[in-house]
Chain A
Amino acid sequence: MKKIISIAAVAALTLSSMASAQSFSEAFDAARALQGANGTFEWNGKKYSTQTIEEALASKPANAENAQALFDAAKAKYKESQEAGFAWRDTKKYLKESKEAIAAGEFQKAMDLAARAHYQARKGVEQRDYAEKHWIDAVPPLN
């Protein structure tokens, strides 16, 4: 359990600091857009997969610990997106279903649902950050 959380935390941390240096996330998106989930790309001399962090975490062994860890991370991210005012429609439902799946011992299902919730919440937070900087670009200019 501890191990997964720390992997996720490090990955998330690294991602966010990379994004500010322009663009691990841009490079990732560009590669994923072209190739789907099973591609690779190079960034700063290293090779990476186009699999998302969430997909990677959901492919860990399906057990109670891993499912709970992913669920907890997703729930926290969801809260963050909610506080930002950019939560998405289905995220809460995925979390609820994930929790139910954990209770029912369906750990892979729970992990897939939590992964989806986490991804959506993460994108919602990014959407807020983008809007903060760029909403003004959509306003019609004065002539």
Chain B
Amino acid sequence: MRKLISALAVAGVAFTGSAVAGSHSEAMIKEGQAIYHGKSRGNCVACHNIQDPITNQAGNQGPMIIAMKARYPNKAELRAQIWDATAKNPLSIMPPMGKHNILTEDEIDAVVEYIYQY
């Protein structure tokens, strides 16, 4: 057990802060867009409308993706909301995209970059 923890801790230290400070490259935004709108991927658009011209048949179960920088001055908080919306509201209909392995951690980072523009 101790061995495991220390190994993990070392691994963790080496990477501190990298997830949030990651690159904002166009490629990442494009990937986020594909996940957001892809029916067999994130399918975020099923519930959240967004003012991207490619949007088709957006749902309204959840709030519109707008003014994200104002709503989430701390980008990591937005990431956390996607990772598990039930942490703040246990009755939320939103699937815990990270906690339940629906998207990978990298995919979540990409979606954050994409929607943070709106």
Contacts from A to B (Cβ < 8 Å)? 7, 10-11, 14, 29-30, 32-40, 46-51, 56, 116, 119-120, 123, 134, 137-138
B residues contacting the other copy or chain, number (CB 8 A): 32
B4 & A30 in contact (Cβ 8 Å cutoff): no
Contacting residue for A56 out of B4, B76, B101, CB 8 A: B4
Question: A-facing mask of B78-89, CB < 8 A → 1, else 0?
Answer: 011001100100
A50 and chain B: residue at smallest CB distance: B12
In terms of DSSP, what is the predominant structure of the interface of chain B? helix
Cα separation A134 to B86 with both chains bound (whole Å): 12
Task: Report yes or no: B9 in contact with A47, Cβ–Cβ below 8 A.
Answer: yes
**Pair A33/B84 contact, Cβ less than 8 Å:** yes
B19 touches A38 (CB 8 A): yes
- In the complex the two chains form, what is the Cα distance from A84 to B6 in whole Å? 33
B16 CB within 8 Å of chain A: yes
- Which of B8, B15, B76 is in CB contact (< 8 Å) with A34? B76
Which of B's residues lie within 8 Å of A, judged by CB?
1, 3-5, 7-9, 11-13, 15-20, 76-77, 79-80, 83-84, 87, 90-91, 98-101, 105, 108-109
